[in-house]
A and B are shown apart, each in its own frame.
Chain A
């Protein structure tokens, strides 16, 4: 069974649309994260959630909003998509803050 799973794997949409990416972890971890990997493969933290509380928020546009319905899920909602949002988005989880993180296989978002 996949420890951290993301859906969809690929997402192609037009500029201005609103989309969501789902993430689920079955590791029993308390903290979940979203990272963005750009075309040059640079990985950058976007958000982290611990016990359903947002604990960090990098300089990410407020068009991006994480939502956690329960400890095992952290979904990423993106409003008014822009060309620059094209990237691979990775979900990750860790037992708690500051502990080893396990990543999903990513969602490749392409904006037309």
Chain B
């Protein structure tokens, strides 16, 4: 049973465009929502994270938008670059240290075309 649904499964964006990846979670107790970036042969690397007390968080070209009532959050990559081509995972967790650690979405394979 998947508690975090991620879409799309794959995404192709032109260089300079905006990449948007969406996630929906089911467990209303989740209160920490990170995004991870994974390159082939490497481990997931924490990109940006948000807590439900804010609706948006921006770090450089990366922005998380969070909608608590809809139980959805999304990653926006502005001015997408070929170096952003990777697999992106959204995740959810109980920051108080719940029993399940990080619950991941199934990932989005992002390709930025030059």
Q: Does A56 contact B (CB under 8 A)?
A: yes
Q: Do A56 and B41 form a contact, CB below 8 Å, given A42-B106, A100-B49?
A: no
Across the interface, which residues of B come within 8 angstroms of A102, CB to CB?
A: 46
Q: How large is the interface on B (under 10, 10 to 19, 20 to 34, 35 or more residues)?
A: 20 to 34
Q: Does B52 contact A (CB under 8 A)?
A: no
Number of A-B contacts (CB under 8 A): 62
- The B-contacting residues of A in range 21-42, CB under 8 angstroms, are 33, 35, 40-42
Q: Does B95 contact A (CB under 8 A)?
A: yes
Q: How large is the interface on A (under 10, 10 to 19, 20 to 34, 35 or more residues)?
A: 20 to 34
Contact among B36, B102, B104 with A42 in the assembled complex (CB-CB below 8 Å) = B104
Contact check, A103 vs B101: say whether CB atoms are below 8 A apart: no
Contact among B34, B44, B49, B97 with A97 in the assembled complex (CB-CB below 8 Å) = B97
Across the interface, which residues of A come within 8 angstroms of B44, CB to CB?
A: 43, 90, 103
